Structure 1
């Protein structure tokens, strides 16, 4: 389907119209300058050629004048008008087409013996001629010193008559400006055609349907790059909206169970007076605690996504040793750290990652948990290893999704929310790092990677 760019916007608001008007103004100015220069050049060139011929004919006739005799004039096809006129304006000799009236009243001086002039008598066509003064020596020999003048000329060519040359060149310049403007209009329309197609498609995209993509023209020009960038943005937006919807569905599902339990306990206390109120409230508290835990972790998760955290230099070795020492449960934690493993980040958030990983490892371990902080090239590594059953390879990414809980996790921690590991990975990503489960000969091996702080 073809799209006409001009049909979408008012003429004054259209980029195509504004560009075309600007180019039209420039083209008119340039065409006017070119036309004026061309007119001057053509007029000067034609006049120079004509005056060159007339001067040659006049000079050649004066060269043939001998003592006591003036030969007949020698007109040519291009210079048919030749006359010899005395100082009183009388025609002494003339060619057959020159007539008996002087062609001009111009009298060159002895200092300037040749003058090129254009004579335009009333009600007659103009004549271009060269007025030449016979040399003083030749004048003494022939006429006892009386000045005589030779006129050699021709009718002005039609091209130079009136403003005909200017009109012809001006018409050509106007045609050039029009063609230039039309070409700009069509070229701009072709350039804007895919942009208008993109705009039309974007206007069809709504929050309920983000699957549409803008048409992407071939090539690597700016419009094609714009279309690709728009499609990439739409893809990211679609993924973000899909994740939000999934997250909202999971949140509502997770909150539904404790909320239903809490409501049931309270309704029982209201419907059955024989039930002790304190006992009913005590039985409702676990559901309220679970709701509070889920809401607190959701708030932390949302705050981490939307609010930038303050950063400071953090010694991961010191942080790991402190967190390992605080885990005084039945399962011992053995820490091994290297010196000067420093990163730039939020101490509280990084400590929460280590705490969550240690708690999770102690919950699944059989007898011992090992944690280490070390340097690996330009990265800092925190490794938490337990001696439990480990995590199946197919589940190693699922456990980092919000509210995802495997069967072993539900059995060992029935009241958990399933947000701990998702929150840990989100913190790691916010610190330009990563958190994943890697292969290990025993148990589960969680590896946190962060950029080292360079001095």
Structure 2
């Protein structure tokens, strides 16, 4: 049966039927035993009275009897009625059962008559006194069972009706939610399911469904904007590449093939950078698991600061902090922040690594023009590049900071732009696994120093495909394997 309302009603009714049947049977037996016990008690009292009078020979004829025990007989050993009450005159013996000598009192039921038989004495020829009364009609005509059965049926019908109504009322919001959900399509995610009053499970379900729909609407809208922006960003280098190739074909005598090839390589490099960043974003948004390991964040920052070119970076490590995460992804974040700071700094870049409130904190500060407070969140959006970033580096993809923030979130951390007296201050916070204060043997003024750019031979010797794909020159010129964070 598909209907929950019908299923719950049937189950409740069947369960209640079993319970009421047991209760009804118990009530019937209790009432029946009580009536019979009272009847046999009265009959025993009357039979005992006349049995005592028989033993002393002082029994009247006929035997006086009153309701309810109005049937009294004295029967000899041969089964002949020798005395009786007026109501029992002319009747055959009430019972043919003679109590044995060792069990002189017996309760008997003869048809609809409850009888108490008492043997006057243990002697073989002892007469027997029978005292009986008609069983109430409620017992021998089954009126009691009919009454109890009728009560059970009424209670069952009432319980089934109440269950049907209560379950139906409970499921009514579910039907409204289902109807509204059937109206929601990918093209229109603005509808929300109705929320019933109260704080029960269905109300919580409706609120959760609306929250899910809100997130889904935001995700779909974000994907639409992303697809539109990505198509626009990809169209420009593709169009430029096509124009260069067409000019080379149309004007072979006027166009230098080497210039065409060099321009095509530049355009293809930009396309490759955009596509690689898009793939990186897709993997991060899909929660693609990355290998987790313990990482000394100060050592990683110091090492990566030495790998770049251009403006020197001053690194200050205030504590040995370990975090758990993907080394390749964290290197990507550090390189993005360092290359971004070098590109926009006027004279210096400062990086500090420390510990604060259970988090490892990496702060990258440059002394450039800075970022206006209104733009501090916008720069983390995909394909967003401020005017200053376009002037300093026209080849970036505008995805570096978006990727960096996604990596931070994937590591349960944050990446924000905070206030700085001059320039921009990017702060990366990650949950720390372990931290130790630096001793005198660990550092030169708490491991503070200026990290100079690596020599070309060193960069070539230490180049790793996963790590070095984020390396850029500090001037923002030349081809890059991956686009950098753009402002």
Q: How does 1:197-208 map to 2 (within 5 A)?
A: 197-208=176-187
1:224 counterpart residue number: 203
- Name which of 167, 170, 179 aligns with 1:188: 167
Question: After alignment, is 412-421 or 212-221 more displaced?
Answer: 212-221
1:211 counterpart residue number: 190
Q: Give the secondary structure class of the aligned counterpart of 1:13.
A: coil
CA distance in 1, matches of 2:214, 2:46: 86
2:321 counterpart residue number: 341
Which protein, 1 or 2, shows the higher relative CO under an 8 Å CA cutoff with sep ≥ 6?
Answer: 2
Question: Contact between 1:91 and 1:100, CA under 8 Å: does it hold in 2?
Answer: no
Q: Does 1:378 align with 2:363?
A: no
Question: Contact between 1:437 and 1:447, CA under 8 Å: does it hold in 2?
Answer: yes
Shift of 1:248: 1.0
CA distance in 2, matches of 1:183, 1:150: 57
CA distance in 1, matches of 2:75, 2:284: 108
Q: How does 1:304-319 map to 2 (within 5 A)?
A: 304-306=284-286, 307-319=288-300
Q: Does 1:175 align with 2:158?
A: no
Shift of 1:360: 1.1
* Structure 1 gap ranges (5+): 1-11, 121-125, 140-144
| CA-to-aligned-CA distance 1:97-146 (integer Å, 9 cap, x gap) | 122222222212232222111212xxxxx22221122246xx9xxxxx84
| CA-to-aligned-CA distance 1:284-329 (integer Å, 9 cap, x gap) | 4433332222112112221222211111111111111112222331
Q: Does 1:323 align with 2:312?
A: no
Question: Contact between 2:321 and 2:434, CA under 8 Å: does it hold in 1?
Answer: no
* Structure 2 gap ranges (5+): 436-487
Question: Contact between 1:27 and 1:181, CA under 8 Å: does it hold in 2?
Answer: no
- Name which of 138, 141, 144 aligns with 1:159: 138
CA distance in 2, matches of 1:332, 1:24: 82
2:18 counterpart residue number: 29
- Shift of the 343–67 alpha-carbon distance from structure 1 to 2, 3 Å rule, reads closer
**TM-score (norm: length of structure 2):** 0.83
Q: How does 1:294-305 map to 2 (within 5 A)?
A: 294-305=274-285
1:78 counterpart residue number: 68
Question: Contact between 1:65 and 1:71, CA under 8 Å: does it hold in 2?
Answer: no
CA distance in 2, matches of 1:67, 1:284: 141
Question: Contact between 2:54 and 2:120, CA under 8 Å: does it hold in 1?
Answer: no
2:47 counterpart residue number: 58
Shift of 1:277: 5.9
1:405 counterpart residue number: 385
CA distance in 2, matches of 1:63, 1:308: 101
| CA-to-aligned-CA distance 1:68-120 (integer Å, 9 cap, x gap) | 43135342221122222222333332222122222222212232222111212
| CA-to-aligned-CA distance 1:347-403 (integer Å, 9 cap, x gap) | 121112111111111111111111111122311111111111211111111111111
Q: Give the secondary structure class of the aligned counterpart of 1:173.
A: helix
CA distance in 1, matches of 2:362, 2:355: 9
